[in-house]
Amino acid sequence: MQDDLYGAITIRGARENNLRNVSLDIPKRKITVFTGVSGSGKSSLVFGTIAAESQRLINETYPAFVQQFMPRYGQPDADQLENISAAIIVDQQRLGGNSRSTVATVTDTAQMLRVLFSRLAEPRLGAPSLYSYNDPRGMCPDCEGIGQVASMDMSAVVDESKSLNEGAILSKGFEVDSWWWSIYARSGLFDPNKPINQYSPEERANFFDLDDGRKVKVDKMNLTYEGLVPKLKRSLGSKDPETVQPHVRAEYERVFTRAICPACHGTRLNQAARTSLINGKSIADLSAMQVSDLALFIRSIEARQVGPMLHALALRLENLVTIGLGYLSLDRESSTLSGGESQRVKMVRHLGSSLTDITYVFDEPSVGLHPHDVGRLAGLMQQLRDKGNTVLIVEHKPDMIAIADHVVDMGPFAGSKGGVVVYQGDYKGLLAADTLTGKHMTRHQPIKDKVRQPKGEALRIEHARVNNLKDISVSIPRGVLTAVTGVAGSGKSSLIQTCLPSAYPDTIIIDQNLARGSRRSNTATYTGILDNVRKAFAKANDVEASLFSANSKGACPDCNGLGVIYTDLAHLDPTVTTCETCEGKRFLPEVLEHTLRGKSISDVYEMSIEEAAPFFTEPAIAKILGGLVDVGLGYLTLGQPLSTLSGGERQRLKLAAELGKKGNIYVLDEPTTGLHMNDVDTLIGLFDRLVDAGSTVIVIEHNLDVVSRADWVIDLGPGAGNEGGTVQFEGLPADLAKANTTLTGQHLAAR
């Protein structure tokens, strides 16, 4: 790279996870795309090495006093890392946050709109914060800017056909003979043997609503009496359900239903803010508009005095449209966005930034995007580069790989069989490279000509109207592989993830969410292998199986069998360090002496699934391991914590756990996320076997290799949001390509 005047990020001897002494130069101010099968080491190089080093360097610039409150990023395992500039990681972590976090706040358009209203609206209120639902002067007083109010579901609280002694109060903590129950049953205000529905009007009022601080005598104690409704409102309703313990939250969700605030109609704003208008629209009206429509509205405002401000806002909205998010509204709560949508929303923030010489790191930015929108996304990546930034992208889609100035292809395979740079150079060179990526770039799955015949009665969704769906009805054939297609925001998830399960509750949705208790969970515990592994160790050594359990006395007392120590820091990701006592081996030396065919329990945790599959002859274990290899997860180690898995890996892990149940309806949302073209072939093979064994498989997919291998396609559109929500095509993939009438059909035909 000597001839390059921009210089390069230099990496020498990188060894994070499976990397095998990787040395390479990555050109600065260029787009570099990292390719390779899943598990080959792309993330270990890009996130685990380059981005991690950048974060560490940034943290070192803080004063020591501040640093002690920050996570200590260990130095990535490498001999030399140089020329790394500040990195911004734009990943698929969902934008969590409370209900006050919306698309508008995340993209900073909320502030821009408020300033605009403070300058142009009639009647003019004055300062920008008077239009903010986060400011007491702008918020609706009834719902305090939440837009929703909690109302109590009385049938969940009281069974009126019962008496107090029979357990009429259903709420947790009010069980018969409990302390709270006794305040009602022994207050002397009611007959504890009388069913609630026989109470006199006065008794009812006392029981449910009394709130005057009256004292009652219970078991010789003088207590303040409070009716059941004010009591529950105070104990449950006053807490933010997002922040309380899970059992309190569960009770909250059982007792309270959230409804749109009648005072502000969900707009979160007070009367004054709602009636201050620009061209007949309030700030709430604009926030509820689809972004693509709002961009046009802003462009239509004529006001020279705020011209630059209008232009900046319109530009940001247009960026959202370009990136394929024009169907969102600014008031959409960010916690409801998918991983792919979250990543693109975050991206828009940076597109507006004038920073240069930043290293931007993207994790499969095309996730959730129709091929139609991928081209525009690629354009935005090029804009970022042209501002003088270094752009690093982990990607699998050929259209995104094609924009690379430089390609780094990892391989040759996954896990211990990967970790090597198998090709680096320009895009043209990749097409000729003798690597899995190179070979797949020019080879597409042909459209299936012999499709399977459906079995039995089709699944029916009638008159679907959720979100943008325009009263549509569809039939989904059973016993085949169906692909549901359409641009992002056309309504695929609304139809398949919301409407289908309400018609057929036995539908199994295999999503990308993290399983609960993830810190203690790993591949072995989640799949249920571990129980059988312990039994095998116990049998071979004639000891008790519990000895090999992480909560037995055989486990390392310092890390409790985790092998690592987590240090929690408020508001920051916890740091993870290897346990010094057991050196990561999880168990006491005497436990490690017990072996199975030469391996200790700790060795087993370190094995990859692929290595473990031939090692374990025990049928129960072998079967599960086989399933994990089938879904393309053979490179994971048995002890790998679930928290380190990507969304796509989690989805495939869940799929593996569901395999072998016959006759199911499986629903998967973009199962090819994180998969190399080579892995996609494996996954399609798995779907084929599932279907042949009698299951119905429904995938929401953009990957045309999957669509072309489906037996049936349902294409939604024509556009996103308001412009979507109708069925454009139902039929065979070959006919979709032939008809050439929809965006999906056109892309399928053009391959």
Q: Which does 579 bind (CB under 5 to 8 A by kind): ligand ADP, Zn ion, none?
A: Zn ion
Nearest-angstrom CA–CA distance, 11 and 184: 71
The backbone torsions φ and ψ at residue 414, rounded to the nearest 5 degrees and listed phi first, read -105, 165
The backbone torsions φ and ψ at residue 22, rounded to the nearest 5 degrees and listed phi first, read -75, 130
Burial class of 593 by CB neighbour count within 10 A (0 to 12, 13 to 18, 19+): exposed
> Considering beta carbons, is residue 295 or 636 the nearer one to ligand ADP?
636
Using CB under 5 A as the binding rule, whether residue 581 contacts Zn ion is answered as yes
Number of residues that bind ligand ADP (CB under 6 A): 32
Using CB under 6 A as the binding rule, whether residue 107 contacts ligand ADP is answered as no
Tokens of 399: 């259209």
> Considering beta carbons, is residue 270 or 445 the nearer one to Zn ion?
270
> Considering beta carbons, is residue 468 or 744 the nearer one to ligand ADP?
468
DSSP 424: E
Kindly give, in sequence order, each residue whose CB lies less than 8 Å from that of residue 475, ignoring residues fewer than 6 positions away: 458, 459, 460, 730
- Which of 650, 644, 688 is CA-nearest to residue 669? 650
Q: How far is the CB of 702 from Zn ion (least distance, A)?
A: 38
> What are the beta bridge partners of residue 406?
32
Q: Which residue do the tokens 């396609």 mark? A: 713
Stretch that binds Zn ion, among 90-98, 367-375, 480-488, 577-585 (CB under 5 A): 577-585
User: Applying CB under 5 A, which of residues 283, 579, 636, 675 lies at the interface with Zn ion?
Assistant: 579
User: Applying CB under 6 A, which of residues 26, 29, 33, 38 lies at the interface with ligand ADP?
Assistant: 38
> Considering beta carbons, is residue 468 or 728 the nearer one to ligand ADP?
468
> Cβ of 442: how many Cβ atoms within 10 Å?
9
Tokens of 481: 């592989």
> Considering beta carbons, is residue 481 or 499 the nearer one to ligand ADP?
499
Tokens of 370: 């129709």
User: Applying CB under 6 A, which of residues 29, 31, 32, 42 lies at the interface with ligand ADP?
Assistant: 42
The backbone torsions φ and ψ at residue 408, rounded to the nearest 5 degrees and listed phi first, read -120, 110
Stretch that binds ligand ADP, among 104-112, 397-405, 484-492, 598-606 (CB under 6 A): 484-492
Using CB under 5 A as the binding rule, whether residue 263 contacts Zn ion is answered as yes
Using CB under 6 A as the binding rule, whether residue 486 contacts ligand ADP is answered as yes
Nearest-angstrom CA–CA distance, 307 and 299: 10
User: Applying CB under 5 A, which of residues 209, 558, 573, 692 lies at the interface with Zn ion?
Assistant: 558
Report how many helices (DSSP H) and strands (DSSP E) the chain contains, helices first.
Answer: 32, 25
Nearest-angstrom CA–CA distance, 573 and 567: 9
Task: Please count the CA atoms within 13 angstroms of the CA of 295 that sit on its side-chain side.
Answer: 16
Burial class of 426 by CB neighbour count within 10 A (0 to 12, 13 to 18, 19+): exposed
Longest dimension (CA), the chain: 93
Using CB under 6 A as the binding rule, whether residue 73 contacts ligand ADP is answered as no
The strand pair at 665-669 and 696-700 is best described as parallel
The backbone torsions φ and ψ at residue 289, rounded to the nearest 5 degrees and listed phi first, read -70, 155
> Considering beta carbons, is residue 145 or 486 the nearer one to ligand ADP?
486
Q: Which does 17 bind (CB under 5 to 8 A by kind): ligand ADP, Zn ion, none?
A: ligand ADP
Nearest-angstrom CA–CA distance, 413 and 608: 13
Mark residues 611-650: x for contact with ligand ADP by CB under 6 A, - for none.
------------------------xxx--x---x------
* Residue numbers 129-148 binding Zn ion by CB under 5 A: 140, 142-143
Using CB under 6 A as the binding rule, whether residue 493 contacts ligand ADP is answered as yes
User: Applying CB under 6 A, which of residues 187, 334, 468, 482 lies at the interface with ligand ADP?
Assistant: 468
Using CB under 6 A as the binding rule, whether residue 41 contacts ligand ADP is answered as yes
Q: Which does 38 bind (CB under 5 to 8 A by kind): Zn ion, ligand ADP, none?
A: ligand ADP
Using CB under 5 A as the binding rule, whether residue 422 contacts Zn ion is answered as no
> Considering beta carbons, is residue 104 or 310 the nearer one to ligand ADP?
104
> Considering beta carbons, is residue 562 or 704 the nearer one to Zn ion?
562
Q: Which does 294 bind (CB under 5 to 8 A by kind): Zn ion, ligand ADP, none?
A: none
> Considering beta carbons, is residue 199 or 635 the nearer one to ligand ADP?
635
User: Applying CB under 6 A, which of residues 8, 22, 29, 43 lies at the interface with ligand ADP?
Assistant: 43
Q: Which does 699 bind (CB under 5 to 8 A by kind): ligand ADP, Zn ion, none?
A: none
Nearest-angstrom CA–CA distance, 94 and 166: 46
> Considering beta carbons, is residue 144 or 681 the nearer one to Zn ion?
144
Nearest-angstrom CA–CA distance, 360 and 87: 6
Q: How far is the CB of 263 from Zn ion (least distance, A)?
A: 5
CA angle 150, 153, 156 (to 5 degrees): 135
Q: Which does 489 bind (CB under 5 to 8 A by kind): Zn ion, ligand ADP, none?
A: ligand ADP
Q: Which does 40 bind (CB under 5 to 8 A by kind): Zn ion, ligand ADP, none?
A: ligand ADP
Mark residues 408-447: x for contact with ligand ADP by CB under 6 A, - for none.
--x----x--------------------------------
- Which of 586, 596, 594, 592 is CA-nearest to residue 525? 586
> What are the beta bridge partners of residue 390?
359
Stretch that binds ligand ADP, among 35-43, 60-68, 89-97, 307-315 (CB under 6 A): 35-43
Q: Which does 485 bind (CB under 5 to 8 A by kind): ligand ADP, Zn ion, none?
A: none
DSSP 575: E
Q: How far is CA 325 from CA 291, 340, 489, in A?
A: 8, 10, 8
User: Applying CB under 6 A, which of residues 8, 14, 17, 678 lies at the interface with ligand ADP?
Assistant: 17
- Which of 59, 36, 44 is CA-nearest to residue 14? 44
Q: How far is the CB of 417 from ligand ADP (least distance, A)?
A: 9
Using CB under 6 A as the binding rule, whether residue 32 contacts ligand ADP is answered as no
Nearest-angstrom CA–CA distance, 109 and 100: 14
Using CB under 6 A as the binding rule, whether residue 491 contacts ligand ADP is answered as yes
The backbone torsions φ and ψ at residue 575, rounded to the nearest 5 degrees and listed phi first, read -95, 150
Q: How far is the CB of 40 from ligand ADP (least distance, A)?
A: 4
Using CB under 5 A as the binding rule, whether residue 150 contacts Zn ion is answered as no
Q: Prior bond to 136 cis, omega within 30? A: no
* Residue numbers 314-343 binding ligand ADP by CB under 6 A: 327-328, 332, 336
Nearest-angstrom CA–CA distance, 707 and 451: 12
Kindly give, in sequence order, each residue whose CB lies less than 8 Å from that of residue 544, ignoring residues fewer than 6 positions away: 538
Using CB under 6 A as the binding rule, whether residue 522 contacts ligand ADP is answered as no
Give me the residues that bind Zn ion (CB under 5 A), please.
140, 142-143, 261, 263-264, 556, 558-559, 579, 581-582
Give me the residues that bind ligand ADP (CB under 6 A), please.
17-18, 36, 38-44, 327-328, 332, 336, 410, 415, 467-468, 486, 488-494, 635-637, 640, 644, 721
